[in-house]
Amino acid sequence: MFEAFFRYDFLQNAAMTGILIGLVAPLLGVFIVVRRLSLIADALSHITLTGIAASLLLEKKVSGINDLNPVFLGMAFSVLGAVLIEWIRKLYKNYEELAIPIILSGGIGLGVLLISLADGFNTDLFSYLFGSVAAVSRSNMWTVLFITCIVIIIVFLFYKELFVLSFDEEHATVSGVKGKWIHLLFILMVALVIASSMQVVGILLVSALMTLPVASALRITKSFKQTIVLSVLFGEISVIVGLVSAYHLGVPPGGTIVMIAILILILTTALKKVSIQFFWTKRRA
């Protein structure tokens, strides 16, 4: 089942990148979910598409930049989108959530415009939307490894600040936590992880990898650290099983990864229900 992944370079790239993303996306996802920012991941993934479209357009219209990796411009747009979201949130203090639909629709609108200007692309845009086992290059894998290391170091260094900001923002402020800077740093990490995840999971499904494993973990955990560990575990299972089955079925990995994550969610929900019923039966007896 895994033989092909040991034999072919392109599959090794996809597997390695997938494993890194399966670690880092749910790790940030835990903070995203508990801070009720799940939709930010969607907005940033859509603005990443704009970056991809801009890169592909440049590649087509401007001679001499054939080797431009679309992932880098996608990352730049994602980071820009993150900064814009923060700026709009400050602009509309009483309607902060407006920032998300503005960036999401703006990103898609501009993306469609850029795609139309290029009269369609030679490159398979489908692989950016839903992921591709074959699309991950060795250089992409190194980029994702670099981003993963940065994210893990930052989360490790600022773990207690991120926890206190997520649990009680006012308490964090009174404790002297520089909430604005840490939030900006966090949202920039989210932007980078989203942009780097898109080749495996696809732009339209990347937010699922950040939220679904966390949703499953939330059903059965009692502490924050447990939630992180289980979310990462569920993320890894989803990515590995999803990638292998996508390769064998010949379908985009985004779909299989998300469906495995959904299956885990169903299982954990069922497990919780069974354990509650068991508890009550035991108590009555």
Pairwise CA distance, residues 270 & 103, whole Å: 36
| Residue number, 25 or 125, with CB nearest to other proteins | 25
Q: Give the one residue of 1, 67, 94, 222 binding other proteins; rule: CB under 8 A.
A: 222
Nearest distance from C-beta of residue 67 to other proteins, angstroms: 40
Of 55-63, 117-125, 161-169, 274-282: span binding other proteins (CB under 8 A): 161-169
Q: How far is the CB of 282 from other proteins (least distance, A)?
A: 18
Which lies closer to other proteins via its Cβ, residue 139 or residue 226?
A: 226
Residue from 13, 148, 227, 256 in contact with other proteins (CB under 8 A): 227
Q: Is 121 in the site for other proteins (CB under 8 A)?
A: no
Site size toward other proteins, by CB under 8 A: 29
Q: Cα separation of 231 and 236, whole Å?
A: 9
Stretch near other proteins under the rule CB under 8 A, chosen from 13-21, 54-62, 130-138, 217-225: 217-225
Positions in 174-193 near other proteins (CB under 8 A): 174-177
CA pair distance 21, 147, nearest whole angstrom: 10
Cβ of residue 266: shortest distance to other proteins, in angstroms?
19
**Long-range Cβ pairs for the range 182-187 (8 Å, 24+):** 182/158, 183/86, 184/83, 184/86, 185/154, 185/158, 186/28, 186/31, 186/162, 187/40, 187/82, 187/85, 187/86
Collapsing DSSP states into helix, strand and coil, what is residue 281? helix
Q: How many CB atoms lie within 10 A of CB 13?
A: 23
Q: Is 34 in the site for other proteins (CB under 8 A)?
A: yes
Nearest approach in angstroms of CB 224 to other proteins is 5
Under the binding rule (CB under 8 A), the answer on residue 280 touching other proteins is no
What number of other Cβ atoms are within 10 A of residue 147's Cβ?
20
Classify residue 251 by its DSSP letter. S
Minimal CA–CA distance to 35: which of 94, 96, 81? Answer: 96
Binding site for other proteins (CB under 8 A): 34, 36, 157-161, 163-164, 166-168, 170-177, 217-218, 221-227
